[in-house]
Structure 1
């Protein structure tokens, strides 16, 4: 019996009974609690902070979102913190799937908004549904057959006789023929990986529709053997014109089989485990949106590494890597995305961290040419009810201005956008394409 626990970032989990579970506090079984503690130790050894343990009965999650399936059958879904504690999780789940698609550049074949509204399953089931949809589309296009060389010892002659091996045949086996022949087969690295992913989906899904479709497709692919070496088969995955129609299903195979995850749980347990650092997910989401909306005359570069904070002994020290650098008409604008909820209170500095201003100040001096008359920096935060319009500009002096602007997350793909003040030079010089 599986159990679904839905929480959000920085939520607390406990083994004690919780009378009224919320997105910030929930109860899990003791076995799931112990598994999370062991998992936190593995992440800590790799330099990542998954959660903090508070005593023997409480733990607090960090800024990761996604899905975790434990061996005892508990599924923990971690949603973005922008959703209110008493709100329905469907909106946060839809936002998270759109962010993951943008971050990993995943193809999707959704029917439309109605399809999204009807699908309220956890993230793991959404990934399985996308894989099955891509596989159904591939079967309609036709799977790739290949000639497979078979070398065998048979009582009858089939194909080409292997003369050298036949001459070495002992007398008591002279009536057997060593032959070589080709078989037109579906046994290829790509099809083996698809069959393995399909088996994983059929064995782990809890959604009735996913269960039915996966078992139907297993009958269609009955003659395809599963992969015996996932890593080698993924390396052997072919591209090119003849395999172009396989391109849509590759990333979904990688997600289902655990080969394309920012932080994947590896080991003997093979549940669906997708964990994404929310800061990086938001950064890639902003980048994907801007790339879709900026005109062709502008260029956007991510994680530029061309500048250092200082030089020492002829070498750069402390590399500076802004999230995004926008270039247009010989001008540069540095943008940095922060996944943090701002407030409308000026008395508390809107909730902005002083270190963020120091960071942008250094970016501006190192990435924007001193001869540029107007030096504009942009801090991007998720838009909320309390933060739905750009703040008044912050002046660093010397013509350098910092803008703090909201990013509307939207309800569906195409609704998200960056809200810029009209008096900002970037908003005047770079005309965004109208939203669809």
Structure 2
């Protein structure tokens, strides 16, 4: 089955009709279209909107990014809709990789020759390349072996005699010995999982460099059996000191085997599929950036759940969970991230801001700040939104800022104007996250 790669971005439209392909519109096969419709229905039943069906021949993608492979061999690469000028494809791939690395706390080896060749490769090839690079390093450092207990029958004594089994030998077979002994083998949970992921990469990759490296590693790990119980083997993955050099490859192995998915594709067919909600990726990136910038004494809590909107029959209802709660010296600030494009010049349409979001922030301000203090909503910087908006006053004591975050330079613009700047290091606001 040949694989066909289609690259789109958030909110793109898919159709079975013949169209001029771009990042915002693409043609898929009828079998892929039908499978996506079924997948969308399953997600909808789970309360997640993956696609919107528009008629019989059109689908509109939602705000999920990553890779999705259909049973017919169609591979969808979905990128963030963030860049409008220049080489959008290359820059969007760079941005998505950076966000995924941050969200999953991965440490890629961008300096290797393989990764330089894959710099502009699709996301799936990049993930497989990162896995192979880490596995190659692990094999060079040495694969960990373990003792396996073997019980067998031999004509000679070796190891320990199994007395009970020996006494049960039938007449005429007393000269055969029932033995127990330990064999030093690479057959352990970690190696079995790596072998299974390696086999999947070797069958899936379309990149010559990835295929060559995968073939070399398969020969080196020929003695290792592939895992048959993925979940059980992951639970048995050791974290002791002797296995420290295995930790770097584990997240990539989990990605390959669909074990570390913010949104996993369920069902009989999975393929090479990894989907991430862009809102969550952006929130994780901003959170980690802030944590690296905090001054001594400042605390940052993600998804704080200390208050509810109301009380009912001696119980709480409608939990209030701001994305980020910043605290220092008995003072608090509420920060919320939003993955949405704003237009700083469109005052007539409220810059693209949502009234529902303002209601939400107002409730946060009343419960977490007791109606006094500052809050901020953080949006991605764009050509239309490149500087902070004038503050919004809920009251003389409660103020809301709308700030842009530059994902290219890792800078929160307008930080020096807000009160919570005292919690953030002033040495540099453009500290690289993944240096």
- Normalised by the length of structure 2, the TM-score is 0.94
Q: What are the superposed Cα offsets for residues 23-45 of structure 1, whole Å, 9 maximum, x if unpaired?
A: 11110111111111121122122
Map 1:27-426 onto structure 2 (within 5 A): 27-84=27-84, 87-111=87-111, 119-343=119-343, 344-369=345-370, 375-410=373-408, 415-426=409-420
Report 1:16-31 matches (<5 A). Answer: 16-18=17-19, 20-31=20-31
Q: Give the match's secondary structure for 1:47.
A: coil
How many residues end up aligned between the 2 structures? 428
Distance 1:355 1:116, change over 3 A: farther
- Asked whether the 8 Å contact 2:326–2:332 carries over to 1, the reply is yes
Q: What's the CA shift for 1:325?
A: 0.5
Q: Distance in 2 between matches of 1:294 and 1:99?
A: 20
Alpha-carbon displacement from aligned partner over 1:42-61 (angstroms, at most 9, x marks no partner): 21222211101112211111
**Deviations along 1:334-374, whole A, 9 cap, x unmatched?**
0000000001211111100111111111101111145xxx6
CA distance in 2, matches of 1:118, 1:194: 21
* Greater alpha carbon shift after TM alignment, 209-218 vs 290-299: 290-299
Measure, in 2, the Cα distance between the counterparts of 1:86 and 1:35: 34
For 1:117 and 1:416, the matched residues in 2 are separated by 25
* Range 287-296 or range 77-86, more displaced: 77-86
Any idea what SS the aligned residue of 1:319 has? Answer: strand
Note if contact 2:109-2:130 (Cα within 8 Å) is conserved in structure 1: yes
> Where do 5+ consecutive residues of structure 1 fail to align?
none
Summarize deviations over 1:267-317 as a string: whole Å, max 9, x none.
Answer: 332411011111111111111111122224321110001100111122111
User: Contact (CA 8 Å) 2:294, 2:423: kept in 1 or not?
Assistant: no
Name the stretch that deviates more: 218-227 or 287-296. 287-296
Distance across 1 between alignment mates of 2:350 and 2:88? 30
Shift in alpha-carbon separation, 1:260–1:418, aligned structure 2, 3 A: same
User: Are the aligned partners of 1:24 and 1:85 in contact in 2 as well (CA < 8 Å)?
Assistant: no
Deviation at 1:134, TM superposition (A): 1.0
Structure 1 residues 382, 313: closer, same or farther in 2, change over 3 A?
Answer: same
Q: Which runs of 5+ in 2 are unaligned?
A: none
RMSD: 1.9
Q: How far off is 1:424 after superposition?
A: 1.6
